[in-house]
Structure formats: structure tokens, C-alpha cells
Amino acid sequence: MASKEFIYNEFKRFGLETSYHNFNYSALDRRPFANVVGILKGTNFGKTNDKIIGLAAHYDTVEQTKGVDDNGSGVAAMLEVAKQLSGQNKRGVKRNNTIIFVSFDLKEQESIGCNYFFPLWLTPWLMKNYGDEYQSLQPHGVIILDTIMEYKTSSNSQKLLLPPGAEVTFHQLFPKSFESMSSDNFRGDFLTLIYRKTADDSLATSLLKSWSAAKRPQFEIESFPLPFVDVSSLNGTMMSLFENFLRSDHFNFWLVKIPAIFLTDSGNFRGDMVKCYHRPCDDLATMLTDDNINFLSKTSDAIARSIDELSESDKTDFSETSGCIGVFLSRVISA
């Protein structure tokens, strides 16, 4: 697949330690499948005080779509962040903590790429580089990007992410965000931040701080802290209630007890994506608008700020320098 080669080559161009994680999946004919991994080492690399940060976005799509929003947008943002942070390193910035960038294959096939990543790549890599003490590592965690560029300012362009007839109301679960959304006539003008209350707070807090610092207030953010930590113990009722908050690779990190936050525009619950999610109209003609690109650009800049802070870089000020987000998006889709 040309897209994985493009991601690999960009990681290499940025100076990341880059590799494919190849794997087979017998239920599908094409072999091998591959996750793409790029590593920006911190000075704590190989030590147990390395608070690793991850940024991940799947690059596969369903067959009938170009997948510009789902998930060309996530891959483009990941590449933009990697370019900004690696560029700083090339200019002499030092950071304590290691950053891992990964683009997953087969997310659209029940997150197979992410599920295989843990036992077949991550654990062997940790054992090789951190020894038997790798289990004592306390990573900051991972930021998952999936479908993040749809921006709509029309009233009632945002639907709520609860199933019809749910016994608990959206207002009861997320009173602050519900009040904010309702006062704004349910416009789809915000990034959706999903995390587990307490378990992922440091990641969420850092991202929210960075979002504010990135300015451009017309692009908002809404937080949805979920009222549980141990996802393996969720019963069928709870899984059904929160299904739309769990349907990306962050859920798999939660299962293996790694902190993670999920950033999304809410997919088929907003604007054009209501009709274009996993459909042919998730294409450049529909999605490549100035508003969408500027929204995606702010999201990328906020993530870069957040990861820069979590990596404990030695510089005193942060400035966005790349501005290649539209180029990355077009090249990911055409690859």
C-alpha cells in the first residue's frame, strides 16, 4: 500500500528511527500488513524514568472511500506534529522523554493492527531497550487521532453520541459540555476530547492547556470524561451506552492499562460526515475546505505543544513552524 510507504518515508525524512511492524492476518488475502513506527528518542531513552509519549493514527480505510477525514486527517496531523518536533530537535532542542509515532493498519478490521502491535512489537521493543524493568515504566500515554477535520458552524450540525432511548441522558453524563453545546445551538465547531476520568487526566489536562495556547478561539474543544477506568469490567449495558466513545484504538490501550486520550470530530455524528462516513463522499472535494484545514491545523499545533511539554524539552518558548498540514493530507490521500 502506497500510503504506508509515504508515511515511512516521511518519518525517515524527519530523522525518526523508523521501521515497519509487519504482520499477517489470515482472514484477509493481502499480506503482509504493516504498522509504521517512528521514534524520537529522549535523553531518558533506555531508562526507567523515560515517560514515553505516543501519537497514533490509523492509515487504512474501508474500500468504498478515499477516507480523507477517516483517517487521512489523523495521519496528516500526526505527520505535521512529527515534523514540528523533529525539526526542533534538529535545531538543537533536547527533550527528556521519548516520543513514539505509529500509524496502524487494519483499524477498520476490528483494530487488528493495534491489537497485534502490543505483543508483537511494543513488548519486545520495550524488553530490548529497557530490560526486565520495562514493566516499571510509567508512560504519559498515547494520543489517538481518528477522523478529526470536520468543522461545521451551522446550528444543529452536531448530534449527541448516545444511542437512542438511553436511560442516562447526555446532560447527566457530561453536564458542562452539554451546556456549552446547547448554548451554541449544537454547532459542530469543536474538537471532541474523550478520556477516562482520573486515569488519563494528565494527558487531557496538557492537551486542554495547549489548545488554549494555540489561540484561534473559533475552533473550540469539548471534554467528555468517561465515568470508569477499568474497561475490561464493563458489562453489556455499559458497553452499549458508551459504544460511540470507545470505537477507536484508544480502547485497546485502555485494555492493556496504558493511558490514552481520543481526539475526533465525532465522525458520523457531525455535518457532512453524517452521510459521508465510510462513503465515497469522504473525499477531497467534500472535505478540503478552508475551515476544515484551519481546524486541522489548530489541532495539530495544540498536539505538538502538548507533546513538547510532556517530553520535557529544554526550550523556553514554543512556536508552530511547519504549516504543511494541507500538503500532508493531499499526499496521504493520493499515495
Neighbours of 91 (CB within 10 A): 9
155: domain CATH number? 3.40.630.10
Task: Render pLDDT for 39-80 as a digit per residue (tens, 0 to 9).
Answer: 999 999 999 999 999 999 999 999 999 999 999 999 999 999
DSSP conformational letter for 98: -
Question: CA 299 → CA 137, 182, 192, 219, distances in Å?
Answer: 28, 23, 11, 9
* pLDDT tens per residue across span 199-235: 999 999 999 999 999 989 999 999 999 999 999 999 9
Place of cell 477498520: 108
**Domain of 128?**
2-334
User: Whole-angstrom Cα distance, residue 118 to residue 319?
Assistant: 34
DSSP at 134: G
Neighbours of 16 (CB within 10 A): 22
- Would you say 147 and 71 are in contact if contact means Cβ atoms under 8 Å apart? yes
Give CA–CA dist 75/60, Å, rounded: 10
**CB-based contact 193:261 (threshold 8 Å):** yes
> Residue 77 to residues 203, 239, 241, 316: CA-CA distances in angstroms?
17, 29, 30, 24
1: its cell numbers? 500500500
Alpha helices in 94-164 (DSSP H): 112-117, 123-130
Would you give per-residue pLDDT tens digits along the chain (335 residues)?
A: 689 999 999 999 999 999 999 999 988 877 789 999 999 999 999 999 999 999 999 999 999 999 999 999 999 999 999 999 999 999 999 999 999 999 999 999 999 999 999 999 999 999 999 999 999 999 999 999 999 999 999 999 999 999 988 878 999 999 999 999 999 999 999 999 999 999 999 999 999 999 999 989 999 999 999 999 999 999 999 999 999 999 999 999 999 999 999 999 999 999 999 999 999 999 999 999 999 999 999 999 999 999 999 999 998 677 666 678 888 888 888 77
Beta bridge partners of 101: 38, 55
* Encoded amino acid at 151, one letter: Y
Give the total number of structural domains in the chain. 1
Question: What is the spatial distance between Cα 35 and Cα 51, in angstroms, rounded to a whole number?
Answer: 22
Rounded Cα–Cα distance for residues 179 and 183 (Å): 6
Spatial separation of the C-alpha atoms in residues 294 and 279, rounded to whole Å: 23
Best CA proximity match to 43, nearest among 99, 91, 124: 99
